[in-house]
Amino acid sequence: MNQNSNLKTAIQHFILDQGLSLSQAENILSCAFNTQMDYADLYFQVSRSESWSLEDGLVKDGTFHQEQGAGIRSMIGEQTGFAYTEALDDSSLRQAAQAASKIAKSTTSQKIHIKNHPNDHQFYPNQDPINQVDSAQKIELLKYIDRFAKSLDPRITQVMASYSASFSMVLVLNSQGELAADLRPMCRIGISVIAEQNKKRERGSSGGGGRALPLDLFWKQDSTITQLVEDYARQAVNQALINLDACPTMAGLQTVILGSGWPGILLHEAIGHGLEGDFNRKNTSAFSNKMGEIVASPLCTIVDDATILGHRGSLNIDDEGVTGQNTLLIDKGRLCGYMQDRKNARLMKTQSTGNGRRESYAQLPMPRMTNTYMLPGEHSHQEIIASVKSGIYAPNFGGGQVDITSGKFVFSASEAYQIENGKITHPLKGATFIGSGPEILKQVSMVGNNLALDPGVGVCGKDGQSVPVGVGQPTLKIDQLLVGGTES
């Protein structure tokens, strides 16, 4: 077997260092895969993470966490048997495999022989980011952010900053004889500031990171802090100061311009979840049974892309060992694909798209997004703004809520502006957007040529599991969207 470096490292850690052999691992998996089973897999994971946080000029928290274990899954039809263990010895793994296999009545196991593995893709470094920079440098980074943000404007009275890094190694064996591994780094900075003026307080936030090493993002080789960190601080400060001068938002149907990059979170929530395979198999999505139909403006082409170098949602392989892919979901307005894991793909008689993801070895995989974004169009950002006589421009989003079945959503803008006669004028506060994912896609009348991805801050929750994701889009013009504000 021609093993890549990731695979050799993972086999050494999860198999050989535990006193096992690859043939023993095959036998353990065979215990979970009897003659009636459709599929079984064995998923090993070890993950390490650290986080540091600063508030009021002091580093108040520094934490480190490590966990390791294995999850074993057996599937027959729609039924799944699942067990996990923190112990990686032969006896513990066999007990977990036997527990998972009890979903089927037959006790006759099938012999599994590992014969191949997916091609090696490397969309990010396979190094641990935690040890690349020492603790003193991480603490100084947070203190520098505090000093720098406060130096930008005397109205900044409080700075909260955080630094986090993690490293995960996974190894997947399955009943199809496949063997795959991945080593996944992640690092991120978060900055939040408070600005005060005339007894009014407003917050601004920014940050970013990705599947990269801190010396590639936040520090130079000479240990000086990069321009990127200062840019994050400026963005947070500017957002807070802008909101100090913001005017109330007029409620009602309005033309809305969504900015490029992070506003793609609206597409992620209102549309992306509805294109995940499990919701469509169960006919609980607003997009169920609409394959091949026009579901959006012909200007809209949307993909889920795990192959972007270094981005937060990217994956060399998913958590079922399937190679990370770029999946076309909506092509010029026509629905042409769902995001699939192995289970839902099998039940829907199609193929996995590499979207089987899980938070940890102790949880089951399910269809999840990676980096979901809309492709660019032909218009410039300036042309789109100039086309609006009266409306709202929203370059930054806060939180929101979505109903997957109906596609209805409510989102708040953390930064918004009035557009008057084709020009951006004064900032607005309290703007919320209310609508339906499928309906806003049909209301898109202009798509910018300025596609941008988010800076690397997205975390997606589903069924109690959280995974890192990326979003993105160019500037979008939505002809009519209900705006909830502070005035009517």
pLDDT averaged over 10-residue windows placed end to end, the chain, 488 residues: 76 96 94 88 98 92 95 94 96 94 70 66 94 94 97 97 98 95 97 95 96 94 91 97 94 96 91 95 94 96 98 98 97 98 97 98 98 98 98 90 85 95 95 92 96 96 96 97 78
Question: What is the C-alpha separation between 117 and 64, in angstroms, rounded?
Answer: 33
- What φ, ψ does residue 353 adopt, rounded to 5°? -100, 15
Contacts of 273 (CB under 8 A, 6+ apart): 279, 285, 369, 402, 404, 462
In this prediction, residue 108 carries a pLDDT of: 64
DSSP-derived letter for residue 249 is P
Contacts of 381 (CB under 8 A, 6+ apart): 260, 448, 450, 475
In this prediction, residue 1 carries a pLDDT of: 37
Which helix H or strand E contains 235, and what residues bound it?
A: helix 227-244
In this prediction, residue 246 carries a pLDDT of: 94
- What φ, ψ does residue 379 adopt, rounded to 5°? -95, 150
Query: For 5-244, which CATH superfamily applies?
Result: PmbA/TldD superfamily (3.30.2290.10)
Q: Within 13 A of 238's CA, how many CA atoms are on the CB side?
A: 11
In this prediction, residue 110 carries a pLDDT of: 67
Nearest to 254 by CA among 381, 386, 392, 387: 392
H-only helix segments in 59-186 = 90-101, 135-152
SS (H, E, C) 404-444: CCCCEEEEEEEEEEEEECCEEEEEEECCEEEEEHHHHHHCE
Q: How far is CA 164 from CA 77, 130, 237, in A?
A: 40, 9, 21
pTM: 0.94
Query: Can you say how many angstroms the Cα of residue 394 is from the centroid of all Cα atoms in its chain?
Result: 21
Instruction: Indicate the domain borders of the chain.
Output: 5-244, 248-484
Measured CA angle at 83 (ends 172, 211), to 5 deg: 40
User: With contact defined as beta carbons under 8 Å apart, do 43 and 111 qualify?
Assistant: no
Q: How far is CA 292 from CA 67, 267, 303, 338, in A?
A: 44, 20, 15, 11
Nearest to 300 by CA among 428, 125, 481, 447: 447
In this prediction, residue 487 carries a pLDDT of: 56
Q: What is the distance between the terminal CA atoms of the chain, rounded to a whole angstrom? A: 68
In this prediction, residue 3 carries a pLDDT of: 47
> Is 378 exposed, middle or buried, given 0-12, 13-18 or 19+ CB atoms closer than 10 A?
exposed
Nearest to 318 by CA among 107, 164, 467, 104: 467
